[in-house]
């Protein structure tokens, strides 16, 4: 758990780090949309090359990039397994009852797994190169026009910032609780029929108790500082767009054009 970097910020001085967080937020959504537009393995390969180039420009090590999406790899593997078992067609490699592993199922599983992994990498690039405070400010600024219809933009941004900040802290808390229970003689097993529920409760009960304690401490700290919403809040470094944001938009547009061309002509 100490190696996971879900929601954590990777410090750096790259051009990606210096971009406006509002532009990065929108471009992250655009990157996910571009990955969805990839309709064949060649288009996915093009999208992967562009994402690798973006990570290279951001100066983020490949191992850290994979660690940032580590908690979601189980979801990727589960989705791929469903495609292997339920998508049929082509040559049959294994069949037992209603279970059938075919050529088309394996191809679909690989395609879906790579697509999900690229989607996670695209969104992880935002959290790795943007601080929680900047993400919160960008989210609030983007939702500010909707305040006229009663949307609580500042409150939603604050919730997003707290959630992103608490993800790595919960991972650390889970690691600490597990070590504490092991020191007390607890036994953890992957078999749900051999102490699995009891071991799970030994982890979840202290973890949720710690989460509620942290939430109460945070609420008391906000109350002590006379928090009253987003009224009158100023920023030391106001958000503004630069030439880097225009270059990034052009790069994402080029990525979209290349992915669409690969989907249509390959």
Q: pLDDT tens digit string along 157-210?
A: 788 778 777 777 777 788 888 888 888 777 666 554 455 566 677 777 888 888
Q: How confident is the model at residue 266 (pLDDT cuts 50, 70, 90)?
A: confident
Q: What is the mean pLDDT of residues 211-218?
A: 84
Position 123 confidence tier, pLDDT thresholds 50, 70, 90? confident
Closest listed residue to residue 60, CA positions, set 117, 126, 116, 118: 126
User: Scanning the structure block, which residue is given the tokens 């908690």?
Assistant: 71
Residue 246 — very low, low, confident or very high, per pLDDT cuts 50/70/90?
very high
Query: What's the mean pLDDT in 202-223?
Result: 83
* 17 sits in which H/E element: none
- CB-CB contact of 15 with 244 (8 Å): yes
Is pLDDT at 84 greater than 90 in this prediction? Answer: no
**Angstrom distance (rounded) from CA 250 to CA 203:** 47
């Amino acid at each position: 758990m100490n190696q996971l970097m879900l929601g954590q910020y990777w410090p750096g001085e790259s051009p990606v780090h210096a971009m406006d967080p509002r532009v990065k937020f929108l471009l992250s959504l655009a990157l996910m949309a571009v990955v969805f537009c990839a309709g064949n393995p060649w288009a996915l390969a093009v999208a992967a090359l562009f994402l690798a180039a973006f990570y290279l420009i951001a100066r983020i090590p490949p191992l850290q990039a994979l660690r940032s999406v580590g908690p979601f790899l189980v979801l990727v593997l589960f989705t791929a397994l469903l495609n292997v078992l339920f998508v049929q067609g082509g040559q049959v490699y294994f069949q037992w009852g209603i279970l059938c592993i075919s050529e088309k199922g394996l191809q679909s599983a690989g395609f879906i797994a790579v697509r999900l992994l690229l989607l996670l990498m695209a969104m992880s690039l935002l959290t790795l190169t943007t601080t929680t405070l900047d993400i919160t400010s960008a989210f609030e600024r983007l939702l500010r026009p909707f305040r006229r219809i009663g949307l609580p933009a500042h409150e939603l941004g604050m919730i997003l910032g707290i959630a992103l900040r608490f993800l790595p802290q919960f991972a650390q808390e889970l690691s600490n609780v597990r070590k504490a229970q092991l020191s007390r003689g607890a036994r953890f097993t992957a078999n749900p029929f051999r102490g699995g529920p009891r071991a799970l409760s030994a982890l979840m009960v202290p973890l949720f108790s710690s989460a509620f304690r942290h939430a109460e401490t945070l609420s008391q700290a906000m109350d002590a500082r006379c928090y009253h919403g987003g009224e009158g809040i100023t920023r030391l470094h106001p958000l503004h767009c630069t030439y880097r944001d225009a270059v990034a938009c052009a790069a994402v547009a080029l990525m979209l054009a290349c992915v669409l061309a690969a989907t249509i002509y390959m």
